[in-house]
A = this chain, B = another copy of it.
Amino acid sequence: MSTSLLDQYFPSSRKVYIQGSRPDIRVPMREILLTPTTGRFGSRPNEPVRVYDTSGPYTDPSFVWDPQKGIPPLRRAWILERGDVEEYEGRPVQPLDDGYTDAAEWRKLRGIGNEPGLSTIERSNTGPKRPRMDAASATAVGNRNGHSHQVRNGLAVQRRPLRAKPGRRVTQMHYARRGEITPEMEFVALREGVDPEFVRQEVAAGRAIIPANVNHPESEPMIIGRNFHVKINANIGSSAVASSIEEEVEKMRWAILWGADTVMDLSTGKNIHTTREWILRNSPVPIGTVPIYQALEKVGGIPEELTWEIYRDTLIEQAEQGVDYFTIHAGVLLRHIPLTANRVTGIVSRGGSIMAAWCLAHHKENFLYTHFDEICEILRAYDVSVSLGDGLRPGSIADANDEAQFAELEVLGELTQIAWKHDVQVMIEGPGHVPLHKIEENVRKEREICHDAPFYTLGPLTTDIAPAYDHITSAIGAAVIGWHGAAMLCYVTPKEHLGLPNKDDVKEGVIAYKIAAHAADLAKGHPRAQQRDDALSRARFEFRWRDQFNLSLDPHRAMAYHDETLPAEPAKTAHFCSMCGPKFCSMRITQDIREYAASRGLTLEEAVEQGMREKAEEFRREGGQIYQEAWPEA
């Protein structure tokens, strides 16, 4: 998929950009062109509908993608011109970063060559040590930023990492608090249709975050907060059992095409450093990770072998690559472990279980908790947001809203304030599995305890009995929790609890969650949300079938379903569908009713009130004729 992506998946859509206050602030939108209303419905053009667009340059017909070169680093100029970061040599990449403990094995793999997807990672030393770093060159696309040397991870783009200069904090929260509206904030404001100053206030207050690592200049700024569009995250990632780097990059591109606002790379097993590098260089959306997964790989998968030093090193490794937010399970404390003893499903968060095992083995407090200040010092040097993990989230209906879950939430509230002290942007992760009547309590408590930091929830699933359909069980919970105030919804695919999602599953999950997020936006009364519903419903009422398809989340599937029973081309303009056939089409009959009045210069009210029997006779005759003209029955 490349230049024809829009044509391929979103017919009659075109990529447009809203121009900001400076030439390099161009906010992408997808504009859906509509056909005019004609015939019995009147005669008027229909305004195009603009929708939020997460798909990045891939849907821009002028963009030519070379995965080795990555996508344009659009934020790099903004980052550099603030003057508060410095380029530095960076931590040397090691075989262990990709899961190789055997140096000989690693050498052997390196020798195979530079094919993308192989774990032949080694930072090249042949390139220029100090590439040009002025704003002008930095806005150029990836393949022209001064690093054309081919390196051993298969990527052509290779930048030395940036970090805050000594004593500086480079987070969007920091800028917001000192009253500054950054290009990122303006970008977000245009994207959301709100005032930039409002964005600044929300970020300053901690009610919203803009995940934007200085080392991920490819990302198009987006905001996560209760007072903005509800966002969705798609998880991808290989495991020890399945998947490859190419597949994961492709899943990322596929997820954002359908509407994922962020992507979490949850890879485990081998090659996770390289997988992440490929994803980041090609991702226009913020990327999240759970660094403890990689740290655990580095100690051979044995939780009790984890150390703060290994974890810290992993944070820096990933921050230098450009990860935008880290899930950190710093709220799982020793005293919480007994609270899970009588649970039906114990601890279901991978990170939570790893940290609980570590705590118990060492009989020490969680090192993520005891070192949280140091963690924040690292995060603020790159503007990595922290997503405080819910290591004790319920994994079944039986365990929802229990003592363990809420005990951890109290700790997350405490950690939120520590992070904010460092100007680190924070969101709070939430469950999991929760029956409908216990969902609102989760939001209420989160807001109270965590001081209105954005809530980022996984589903929740509203029942346990439907594996293979958990995108649906959880879309129900996601819509409800989004309505009550969750700011981002982590998708669940049909494979949840069963296996790794493939590309089809990613799409099903993303679309189910676009539905949940949009339903929440409507319920929250987001001013822009209903435009698309109204445009689609009007198209439906006026039998503008193609507009109905094109305005939908998945135009081709809508059209394919329509065509299954009425495939002929004239059916695309027919004033009925196969559900009811011509005689039973309620919308058609409604239109007959409206025309009956209108053709007589009456409102429906007048037509009813006057009670003219004559006119009724006429309508009967004409109505009869209308139905006789109907599409011949099959």
Contact = CB atoms under 8 A, between A and B. Distances in A.
Interface string A512-527: 1011101110111100
Interface string A335-362: 1011011001111111011101100111
30 contacts: A240-B582, A241-B566, A241-B633, A242-B634, A268-B581, A269-B581, A296-B583, A337-B608, A338-B607, A347-B589, A348-B587, A350-B580, A352-B586, A357-B623, A363-B613, A363-B616, A395-B540, A396-B534, A396-B537, A397-B530, A437-B483, A462-B479, A462-B522, A467-B561, A468-B554, A469-B512, A476-B479, A497-B548, A497-B579, A502-B564
Contact of A579 (B498, B519, B564, B591): B498
Contact of A303 (B337, B597, B623): B623
A495 B579 contact: yes
B469 A499 contact: no
A469 B580 contact: no
Given A436-B522, A619-B304, A553 B363 contact: no
A121 interface: no
Interface string A16-51: 000000000000000000000000000000000000
Given A340-B590, A533-B397, A536-B464, A301 B551 contact: no
Contacts of A586: 346-350, 352-354, 395
Given A465-B533, A604-B338, A361 B435 contact: no
**Most chain B beta-carbon neighbours within 10 Å: one of A346, A511, A582:** A346
Nearest to A591: B346
Contact of A353 (B590, B627, B634): B590
**Interface of chain A, main secondary structure:** helix
Given A240-B581, A561-B494, A586-B353, A594 B341 contact: yes
Contact of A341 (B344, B362, B604): B604
A522 B400 CA distance: 12
**Most chain B beta-carbon neighbours within 10 Å: one of A475, A548, A560, A597:** A475
B436 A479 contact: yes
A538 interface: yes
A552 interface: yes
Interface string A258-269: 000000000011
Contacts of A103: none
A350 B593 contact: no
Given A396-B533, A551-B465, A435 B519 contact: yes
A449 interface: no
A607 to B, nearest CB: 7
Given A268-B581, A357-B589, A469-B515, 15 more contacts: A304-B620, A341-B594, A341-B604, A345-B537, A347-B589, A350-B586, A363-B608, A436-B479, A462-B519, A464-B536, A464-B540, A465-B532, A466-B511, A469-B553, A476-B480
Copies of chain A in the complex: 2
A472 interface: yes
A367 interface: no
A468 B561 CA distance: 7
Given A469-B554, A616-B362, A345 B523 contact: no
Interface in A206-246: 239-242
B608 A338 contact: yes
A135 B86 CA distance: 93
A569 interface: no
B633 A500 contact: no
B361 A620 contact: yes
A515 B472 contact: yes
Contacts of A522: 397, 435-437, 462-463
Contacts of A503: none
B587 A345 contact: yes
Contact of A552 (B296, B352, B466, B591): B466
